[in-house]
Amino acid sequence: MRDVAIIGIGIIKFGELWEKSLRDMAVEAALNCLTDAGTDRADSVTIGCMSSGVFNGQEHLASLIPDYLGKNNIPATRVESACASGGLAVRNAYMEVASGLSDYSLAIGVEKMTDVSTGMATYALATACDRDYEAFHGITFPGLYAMLARAHMERYDTTREQLAQVAVKNHSNGALNPFAQYPFPVTQEAVLSSTMIADPLRLLDCSPITDGAAAVLLTTVEEAKKFKSSPMVIIRGVGSATDTLALSQRKDMLELGAVKKAVHRALKMAGKKIQDIDFAEVHDCFTISEILVMETIGIVKPGQGGPATIDGLTALDGKFPLNPSGGLKSKGHPVGASGVAQVYEAVSQLRGESGKRQLNNPKLALTQNMGGSGGSCVCHVLEVKD
């Protein structure tokens, strides 16, 4: 296996992008990435997209996107793992380069979610849960995560204020991110008084419906040495895992088994422990999600995620910052693009290019991208080489 570096990153502003099509967004992010890298070379392309067939009536992205990118003749693959599709695209590009199949591999994450009604968007997203035993009976992802939140509150005395603080913290970060869908702060009072969606989760506990795209270009460390414009960021570890699709089939619904295994595998491959990581981009599709993830991966003990968030552990100036980008909550959640956007933020921070939200000299980053209610997960450990 060859060592792999990220030499290019690209993103577009997330939001309700009425004037841009699925292909427009993917190509724009890819071109931004190639410009950042200083090369237009890509020996292969992987596109992460959850549900373009339902959202846009468009499948066969493995032909469409390279065509409009001007790269018709290279091998291309479209991958799907619900909301972890973007992370899976980066993993696939990593394997292309590490294995020697490609010297330069481009990963693109994209989703166009706002061209359908709210009902159709809800239907499309519900295809990521168990269709027969969850969606058919009326459950939606707000409902599933509301059950997780209620169970956590019952077991650990987690409070509504602690959940709300996740949104407050991430919106504070997102207010500093020019690519965020909702780049403005919110107060705890605003979160607690927002519309109830699924008790105890309110509107400002939930990530939004979003259009967006992001891209990263990978090559070997040896090839990366030819590019001197930025510090080199190396992928030190990759981890992936799955769990039962239905929440009801898990032995303990508050233990995210796929997340635990994926992070363990990525850290083991990197030869690191969670305590070595300087910051992480994690999958905060709902406020309870960030709390569950930080407990699952060992940042804090089970039940301590809420108090730690209130105490500032995960803030930009805390001991373990989470989601300096604003996370899915503030930056937005175009489901197929979110995992690639996490890697974009990690590389930007490690290069020292994140502007007002820049952390203090980070060296190691973790990205954690999961699908559904934790049915799949992909993680990456990234390190900057001075």
Give the residue numbers annotated as catalytic, written as ranges: 83, 333
- The candidate with the shortest Cα–Cα distance to 97, out of 225, 217, 229, is 217
CB 325 within 8 A of CB 177: yes
Question: How many angstroms separate the CA atoms of 52 and 58, rounded?
Answer: 5
The set of residues, in sequence order, having a beta carbon less than 8 Å from that of 32 and lying 6+ positions away, is: 10, 11, 12, 215
**In one letter, which amino acid is 60?**
H
* Count of residues in the chain: 386
CB atoms within 10 A of CB 136: 11
Question: How many angstroms separate the CA atoms of 80 and 89, rounded?
Answer: 8
What is the CB-side half-sphere exposure of residue 57 using CA atoms within 13 A?
2
- Measured N-to-C along each axis, helices 22-37 and 61-69 cross at an angle, to the nearest 10 degrees, of 50
Cα distances from 81 to residues 14, 125, 140, 181, 251, in angstroms, run 21, 12, 17, 23, 22
Query: Residue holding tokens 């699908």?
Result: 371
CB 113 within 8 A of CB 70: no
Pairing of β 104-111 and β 44-48: parallel
Cα distances from 291 to residues 33, 241, 313, in angstroms, run 32, 20, 12
CB 29 within 8 A of CB 12: yes
Question: How many angstroms separate the CA atoms of 94 and 88, rounded?
Answer: 10
